[in-house]
Amino acid sequence: MQSNESNKLLAKLEVIKEDKDPYKDFLTSFDPEAQPKLEHILTELKEYSSNCDEIEMVKNAFSLAVNLHGSQKRASGEPYYLHPIEVAEILIKLKSDPEMITAGLLHDVLEDTDYPPEKLKEVFGDKVYLLVDSLTKLGKFNFSSKEERQAESFRRMFMAMAKDIRVIVIKLADRLHNMRTLHHLTPEKQKRIAGDTLDIFAPLANRLGMGKIKWDLEDMSLRYLHPEDYWKITKHVSQKREVRENYVFRVISELDDELKNHNIKAQISGRPKHFYSIYQKMVKQKKEFHELYDIIAMRIKVDTKADCYEALGIVHATLKPIPGRFKDYIAMPKPNLYQSLHTTVIGPEGYPLEIQIRTHDMHRIAEYGIAAHWTYKEKAAGRVVDKDAENLQLAWLRQLIDWQSDLKDANEYLDTVKIDLFTDEVFVFTPKGDVYSLPQGATAIDFAYRIHTDVGHRCIGAKVNGKIVTLNMPLNNGDQIDIMLSKVKQPSLDWINFVATSHAKNRIRQWFKKEKREENIIKGKDTLEADLAKVNMDELPEKQKKLEELARKLNHHTVDDMYASIGYGELTTMQIISRIRSDYIHNNPEANIPTVVESKDLKKKPNSDILVDGVDGLLINVAPCCNPVPGEDIKGVVTRGKGMIIHSENCINLQQVTPGRIIGVSWGAVDKNKQSSYPAEIEVISLDRIGLLKDVIGKLSDSKINILSA
């Protein structure tokens, strides 16, 4: 009598015999031209895994990927299967486990082929299936805007990351190879993909401590977003290579001799800073490449933490340190667990020189981040994870997931993601000496909410370093913060206008949602009705029906929910009016809806020099970062509590603003009988001589120009 196992085996053989499985040969044979690629992957994999089952799984995935993508081509004309193979090779360099490599090889099969999901799960198991399924893009979903599509993509990605962080590492490998081959796409696609990469994926790699991938993504993004600057920097770096290498050799020789004299075993290297880092310096300091002197970074790797501090002392004894340019990330690691000592010294010929000192383990974490905490072992345990390290790195991710249910607007969600991914930070202290990291620009209110939601709600004041300060004052590194509390919870809606963290903004909004709902409904409705009346849209046909439809589009259950959102600051009336107008004009092309208020009405307003598309009576301020003047092309940015901020159209800060908040504006007609003045920056380039400043000031005075600052 045959056993159950024998019966199952015979049944499987019958299926194969009858050729019921169209994919049965896909796991055993493939295009011979791909064979060298497979051999390379297996050679690399066998350096840290000799498990036969795992190696067979990777071989099967390779064969399946080559066959399923066999007839597909990339924009370059190359076989599509080269892309998943390259992704797998990037993952192998990170010493990723075989499940990740398998998922990397198969990451596009559910989206781009007809391979059944249940078959993928059957052949490769639940874990690989879940990784591949999480990586599948949103090609089958429809959204009303690019922002909604992008926001939903990131929501799903972050949810998948929370279940298995390996998802984002595979996604980063996928994005890295796509960026390497971006030159084959149209300029429009290049800019869109490079923009997403710089805004989301590079900061995400940074958050996970994966410095090497972050630097590559940033440099490649710069090439497509600012090509002139990119090629200018690469040209200058290349031209000065020999001079720079000689300079680095001199510094290495000097430091190496000193370290050896003190019996410290060290590896010293030097290189130019990454292109994007150089570009940021040029923009921030408003300098050309030849005016930058600190473009070289030196790195000293030693064996122990004690050696780091001893090496620091030797460096400072050998080369003069620049005051205020030392950071100890060993004692106070970054949120991504990066550790190193940073100091800037005066190098040979008087040039500033940045030096980083770290152990070999710290260097591995700085390069590979969260992947460095995964120790792969072949036994039954498989991938072993330093859970404490992983939990510390992913605390921000859990917060993003908590907040995303509160952020219904796609633009606002994308803004939140971008703010929380960028990691310029300050370290501040409680009176008891506990250390907290906050983003640059954070205030005492951000600090209070970081301590606890109740502390934020009850905050009425703050002392910084023993002195009472305003609640909107940005905090600095090393500040000691003491929060002053009231007995009752009474946050202010105005705080949303100056807090820097999404955590604080969301806690404030949640409080007003819950505690002030009825008040916010009345406030929101009155504000919207008043603003609709200002643009002659308060008596549109079927206005209530339009509002109900719009509320549903904005993910609100009722119109009252939408009014409440306006009341507590989640939505602006500008957003509502713009949507109503565009929907109404789309359905009624002959309708006569004013888009710009008549200039005779505007002249009665104090800010009549600027015409705002569709709305009158707004508070208008000129942005101090670019100081636009009449004649320049300008754009308006809608803010909460500060009205409309007017920027020059080419202002670099506009690149950080969500497109939905940018409004068309223009300068009004020039009134020759009215004198208006605007602040403007003047840069004077001249040969130095005695009396130059006096002559410049005299010319400005003759022209009746007032100097505000110099």
What the chain holds in terms of domains, given with CATH numbers, is: 22-226 (1.10.3210.10), 232-374 (3.30.460.10), 424-505 (3.10.20.30), 516-587 (no CATH), 595-710 (no CATH)
Section 660-685 average pLDDT: 68
Residue 134's closest CA among 108, 116, 101, 98?
A: 108
Instruction: Write down the residue that tokens 């510094």 correspond to.
Output: 251
Question: What would the two tokens of residue 154 be?
Answer: 């990131």
The string of pLDDT tens digits covering residues 190-232 is: 998 998 888 888 888 888 888 889 999 999 999 999 999 999 8
Confidence of residue 20 (pLDDT cuts 50, 70, 90): low
Which position among 111, 378, 601, 671 bears the catalytic label?
111
Inter-CA distances, 66 with 26, 34, 61, 71, 110, Å: 9, 8, 9, 9, 14
List, as one string, the DSSP characters of 413-480. HHHHHHHHH---EEEEE-TT--EEEEETT--HHHHHHHH-HHHHHTEEEEEETTEEE-TTPPP-TT-B
Identified catalytic residue from 44, 112, 494, 549: 112
**Which of 154, 102, 158 is CA-nearest to residue 131?**
102
CB 659 within 8 A of CB 147: yes
Reference 409, options 546, 500, 506, 518; nearest CA is: 506
- Residue 562 in this model has a pLDDT that exceeds 70: yes
Cα–Cα distance measured from residue 24 to residue 28, given in angstroms and rounded to the nearest whole number: 8
pLDDT in tens, 100-119: 999 999 999 998 888 999 99
Task: Examine the residue annotation and report whether 112 is marked as an active-site residue of this protein.
Answer: yes
DSSP labels, 71-108 = T-B-TTSSBTTHHHHHHHHHHHHTT--HHHHHHHHTTT
Tokens of 434: 């506990």
Token output for 498: 């100056």
* Confidence band of 555 (pLDDT split at 50, 70, 90): confident
Mean pLDDT of 177-193: 92
Cα-based distances in Å from 41 to 54, 81, 88, 170, 292: 13, 14, 8, 16, 42
User: Burial of 629 by CB count in 10 Å (0-12 exposed, 13-18 middle, 19+ buried)?
Assistant: middle
More confident residue, 434 or 30: 434
Q: Percent of the chain at pLDDT above 70?
A: 75
- The answer to which of 391-405, 471-485, 647-661 has the lowest mean pLDDT is 391-405
247-261, 319-333, 343-357, 411-425: least confidently modelled range = 411-425
Judge whether residue 43 has pLDDT over 60.
yes
Of the candidates 134, 98, 101, the one whose C-alpha atom is nearest the C-alpha of residue 117 is: 134
The answer to whether the CB of 682 falls within 8 A of the CB of 657 is no
Q: Tell me the mean pLDDT in the region 109-134.
A: 90
**Average pLDDT of the residues of the chain:** 79
pLDDT at position 314 is: 94
Burial class (CB in 10 A: 0-12, 13-18, 19+), 149: middle
The order of strands in the sheet holding 481-485 is: 467-469, 459-464, 481-485
**The pLDDT of residue 644:** 77
User: Which pLDDT score, from 0 to 100, does residue 373 have?
Assistant: 58
The average pLDDT across 658-686 equals 68
Q: Is the pLDDT of residue 138 over 50?
A: no
Q: pLDDT tier at 549 (50, 70, 90 boundaries)?
A: confident
What pLDDT, in 10s, does the model give residues 592-612? 544 433 333 333 334 445 665
Q: What's the pLDDT at 379?
A: 40
* pLDDT for 359: 95
Triad 124, 30, 132: Cα angle to 5°? 30
Mean predicted confidence (pLDDT) in 84-100: 92
pTM of the predicted model as reported, rounded to 2 decimal places: 0.61
284 class by beta-carbon count within 10 Å (0-12 exposed, 13-18 middle, 19+ buried): exposed
Is the pLDDT higher at 597 or at 582?
A: 582
- Give dist(CA 545, CA 446) in Å, integer: 40
Mean pLDDT of all residues in 489-501? 87
Tell me if residue 560 is catalytic.
no
